Every structure is written in C-alpha cells, then in structure tokens.
Structure 1
C-alpha cells in the first residue's frame, strides 16, 4: 500500500529531479496553497505550462480528511480482523489468479525472489484482485492531505511525483482515481513508488497499475525488493510453543536464531523450519493463549507497505494460506480491550513515560512493547497482550 529493471521490463525514465520533500507550508487558504505548490513545482524544473495543466482541476476533498481520521477497523483483534478479510472466495480467487498469471509469478520469483503468495495476499486485501481500486480523485486526495498539517511531509512529494507521471503520459489529474490516501492501482502504490519501482510487465510501453495485472504485480515485487525483501526467504510461519517459554523473549523487538528457538521448544505447527540460522521473533498477536507465529526478517519489510500491525500480520498469514498452510490455531486468548479501554491504557502508559505511538485505541507495535515492559515490572506473563486485568492494575 505504501510503496513496493533491467531485463524484466521497461522502467519509467525519470528525467526530472527526484520529487522534493515537503517544503510548502501546510494549512491556510487552499487556493493559496495550490499557488505555492505550483511555484515549488516550477522551481524543481517542471515547465510552467505542464504545471498549469496539471493543477487546473484540483479541488480540496473533505471526504479524504474524514477517511484519514476514521480508521477504526484497525482496532479489531487479529482473529476478528483476519476472519473478516480472509474468505473462502478470496482463497479460491487467489488460486485462480495464481494459475492465470503463472508465468508472471514465475518471472517475479526468479528475478525478485518474492513469493507469489505475498503478492496475491496484498492484491486481494488491497483491491479484491483489482475489482475495488477506490473512487477518490487521486490528485485531489494527495493535495488535500498535503494541505492538511498532519502528514504533509509524506504527501507533498507524492504530488510532485504524480506531476512527473503526468508528463510521461501515465497520470491524468482529472480522471485518475484510487484510494483516499492517494494510492493507485491493483496493489495500491503511491506515485513516488510508481516512479521508482514501476515496471512495464506486459510490454506495452507504459506502467498501468490500474488495468494491467502484470504491471501491478511486477511493480509490487520490485518495490518489496527495493524495501529490503530478502529473496527466497520465508516471512511468517505458524508455530507451537512450550508452556515454559519465557514470554518476555517474545515480540518483534526480541530476536534469536531459529535453531535457538528450537532449543527452547518452539516447533513448526506444520512442515519444517527452512533455515536454522535465520533470525526470527516469536509473534503472539493475541498473547500467549492465542495464535503463535515465527516472524522472519521479511515480515518486518511488510510494514513499509502498511504500518498497521493487525493488517500486516493478517496479510502475511493470508500469504501462507494461499501457499497451502492450514488455518491457524486460534487457541483461547484472554479477553482484550475495547477501543475506549485501549485509549485509557495508552494514556496511562504515556503518563508513565512510555512512547505508544499515539493514543489512538490501536494496539500497534509501540503499545505492545510498552505493555510487555509493564507486565514484566508487575510480575505478569509478559506476552504484550493487554487485558482488562492489566488495565485495572494500572
């Protein structure tokens, strides 16, 4: 969703300077902001006529701000979230698309080392295999978020990247549509990522991520490799754990070799471990009594695609399902917290001096690490899963 050539395909030739970082003051009158963005574009080397045409139809879109502020879906637990997103229909369509684009996936695995299951999972969860790509005008979305002062440093460079795509004939500011945050196409990539990693997979001379599955899949694979994907290595594997495990050693902030985990009694739930020398973390999305996974270095690369812990874990698990893994063992996890309770807990943790990444009611990695630290101090099983009992203790 964030971002993800050589002999594989035609790469976009970027003849202008790289899109600049945010350098236009946010907020204020939107028309004045547009004028400042146009001035910045000209200063970067874009022709005035191109700039005028590109920005001629831009409008502020309040619905984009509403969408940005309302992401409550990420407050769901891993079990609830994954069960809502992973359906039998998506599994069947995944198998059908794996067969339909077998030659494309073969090329991707050969040249980028990215497993087909990973790309199929993101293709499914982002756009239902291209069926639901979003109906927000992309330029309006990017300009609205660039004008908003919450994350202008992320979105202003995307506007200038879209301008470069426009000059290449691969972006129409009036008609290009996508997600509310400006992502485009079947695997939802931002304009700057398309510039840097776009691949013409079908050989038509253009990178069209909205209509060409080969373009979208190869671009997504190249982006993942660019973000640090390690070729032909696993990303997530379900495991079983001994009841004697020291829970404070779990979590993405604790790593040891697969061989060392095995010595502690960690076992694959099915199949075998591929490489005992790989570093990995024991991941407990819902604590020691819920599902358990071994997370490899490639798992953390996926956070560059989407920052949500529950989304990334679901996508990574779904990728293993698409490659034949069984349904995870849900176990019997302890009751979790509601969104309001999570905010209470986060505020208490902030008051104690912890960085939880914001009081938003979402159990992200920073909140998990803070919870685990507090659990250790209180002499509780330090599995990073916050419960009503923990909240009451604080």
Structure 2
C-alpha cells in the first residue's frame, strides 16, 4: 500500500533532476548517472554522518536497480477507486474478525501503547490490517534495492536518499539484513510498513528482546506505530471520524476538509450522528467522499493525523472509518451517490479545470484535494450543489 512516503507535501517539490556534482560529501552525486558512482556518493555521505564504512559497504555492495519498483512508482491506480469501492474492497469480514481477535490477543501491549501515547487500539489495528493483513503480506521487494532505486531516480531523491542512509544505520545496528530484508516497493518495512528513518526515530522494543523488529514482532510494531502516531500530533481521548446524517437543504459549499465548524454548530444545522454523540466543542469538517447523496462523516482534528500517514483522501478516510468500525460503529449508510466519472472523463475534467486556471496538480485521473476544491468552486459558480463530487452533468456544463 502506498503511503506517506509518496504523498507528504513536505516532499512535493523535492526532486531536483540531474545534479551530478562530485567531491565533498555535501556535493556528492544526488541522483541519476552511473549507479556505482551514485552508490559511492551515498557511502561518502553516510561516513561523513558518522556511520561506518563497513556498514555502508555491507549495505550497498550488492544493491541493484529494480525496474519493478519504478513501474510501481509510476502506476498508483488504486487511488482512482471511489470511497465506496475502495472501502468495500479492503474492509472485509476477515479483517474485521481478525482485527477484533488481535486487539484481544495483544490487549496488554495495546493498553501500554494507549497509556504511553494516547493512541487507541482500533486506530493502530486498522493500519495494521490495511498495510499488511496483520503481518501476512509485508511485501517481497528487497528493501535496499527499492530505496537505492528510488534514491537514484531523479523524481524524488531528496525523499529516498535519506532513507537509504538510514538503512545503512539500521544495518550497523544489526536491525536490517541488506540481502534478505524485504518490504514494500517504496522501502517501507514491517507489519505497519514504516520507512527506515521513522524506525530509527520512533522504533520501540515492545517485547523486551533488545531489538526493534517490525517484521517479526507484533508487540514492537504496535508500540512503534503508537509512538509514531503520537509524534504526528494525535490528541488523546478525542475522536477522529464519525458517520453522520445530513439534511438535504444544507449549504454544500460549507463541506470539505478546508472548512470547519464546531460539532455543536453542525448539529444546529441538522447534522446528526449515526453512532455515539457529536463532540460539541471540537472543530470538525463535514466530508462527503461521494457527494451529498453518499456517506457523510464529521472529521475531527485527529483525522488530520491520517493525512500525515498517507495523503490519499480515499485511503485515509477508509482507514479512519475502519478504525471506527473496530471501535464498534455500524456499517455506513452507502446512500445512492450520483454517477461519478471514469478515468478518461476525470482527466478531461482536470484538463478543463486547469485551462480555467485551477491548480489540480497532475492530470492523472485521481480525485485529489486540488481537484475536489476546484470542482466545488466551479459547482458553486454554475449554481450546482457544491458538494465537490464531479459528475457527467458537471463535465457537460464545462
């Protein structure tokens, strides 16, 4: 599953192509060019940062370009699915059953995690399920090869080069085997799929064996995930997502992640919870993943932590909703959303919006935040319900 490594806005402009300087570590070849020369520059930088030349050699000696990694990096079609399609695909009866079983099996470490970091068991369990099916599917890409490939590629070297350096540090600590450690195509490792830098910074020994082994130890993975989510800003004791019903006379232009009201203000407008109580004093955004006729959710401040984990709106909303299900919420009311756009239509819409001066990012057929914001603005200008859900009717109007 693609994650924060790909979507974090911190790295949106990181790729600086064709920087082939040599000499001091600060001027080592950053990306592209001869692969062995590139690896020599990585070693030089690692040693300058205090890592041993032996660990660098041990890590990089057999590294190779993996063309399958580059292919995966260019094709992220899963994020073209709608919320209903994606959530129905990934939140299975198997995952619900095993999620409940694992929360019971590891109740002790979950309790410790919540005590230390304030992160509830359902939140971590949902990530654990979606990332690796509770450790069953952790990825079969050689981690060093994946990181070296993406660091050498000039699309996002400033993201992946530090991860490759961090992998050398993990090798030096005895926590990564450069020949045999495997994981996701983007270099994430373990049951909750974390990048080497995050493992070094936030890795926790949950089982007391003196090592952080996110591939083998569920206790390590749970505690580490809790520490990482806490670092991202999780607010202890607060909700993250809540399904609601909405009146059909609502001002749809007030919906979306970039607009907030207090829970009490939403309630005064007729927004009602399907489960639990609305948190009256917390700010919340009203999310309509498939428009005003589909499911509706209030997203509280903790929802933003999901966006730090992964910038895909569909993934984060699904993960947050899944966590509410594990916490006892009912299955959502799917409603009857209006027909959306297929891939070709979505690209056509993005092109039209771009020509009108909107910044929708890449013309990729993905309904991301930029496209949603542009759609909502255009809907409002055209006098259409401004629920940010693009339909054939909107495309025809444009």
Residue 244 in 1 paired to residue 267 in 2? no
Residue 271 in 1 paired to residue 276 in 2? yes
Deviation at 1:197, TM superposition (A): 0.6
Alignment correspondent of 2:263: 258
Decide which moves more: 300-309 or 324-333.
300-309
Alignment correspondent of 2:42: 37
Deviation at 1:31, TM superposition (A): 1.9
Alignment correspondent of 1:13: none
Structure 2: any 5+ residue segments left out of the alignment?
6-24
Aligned mate of 2:177, from 156, 172, 178: 172
Q: Secondary structure at the match of 2:284?
A: strand
Deviation readout 1:226-255 (Å, 9 max, x if unpaired): 011111211000000011110000000001
Within 2, Cα distance between the matches of 1:364 and 1:292?
18
Alignment correspondent of 2:93: 88
Q: Secondary structure at the match of 2:365?
A: coil
Alignment correspondent of 2:308: 304
Q: Secondary structure at the match of 1:74?
A: helix
Q: TM-score, normalised by structure 2?
A: 0.92
Deviation at 1:296, TM superposition (A): 0.7
Aligned mate of 1:374, from 374, 378, 383: 378
Residue 148 in 1 paired to residue 153 in 2? yes
Within 2, Cα distance between the matches of 1:328 and 1:295?
15
Residue 362 in 1 paired to residue 375 in 2? no
Residues 4, 309 of structure 2: 8 Å contact kept: yes
Q: TM-score, normalised by structure 1?
A: 0.93
Where does 1:307-386 land on structure 2 (aligned, <5 Å)?
307-386=311-390
Where does 1:170-249 land on structure 2 (aligned, <5 Å)?
170-249=175-254
Alignment correspondent of 1:285: 289
Decide which moves more: 109-118 or 179-188.
109-118
Alignment correspondent of 1:129: 134
Within 1, Cα distance between the matches of 2:83 and 2:330?
16
Change (3 A) 1:121 1:22: farther
Change (3 A) 1:239 1:351: same
RMSD: 1.5
Within 1, Cα distance between the matches of 2:252 and 2:183?
42
Within 1, Cα distance between the matches of 2:26 and 2:197?
11
Deviation readout 1:305-347 (Å, 9 max, x if unpaired): 1121111111111111111111100001000011111111111
In the alignment of these two chains, the number of paired residues is 377
Q: Secondary structure at the match of 1:294?
A: strand
Change (3 A) 1:24 1:254: farther
Deviation at 1:90, TM superposition (A): 0.7
Residues 124, 225 of structure 2: 8 Å contact kept: yes
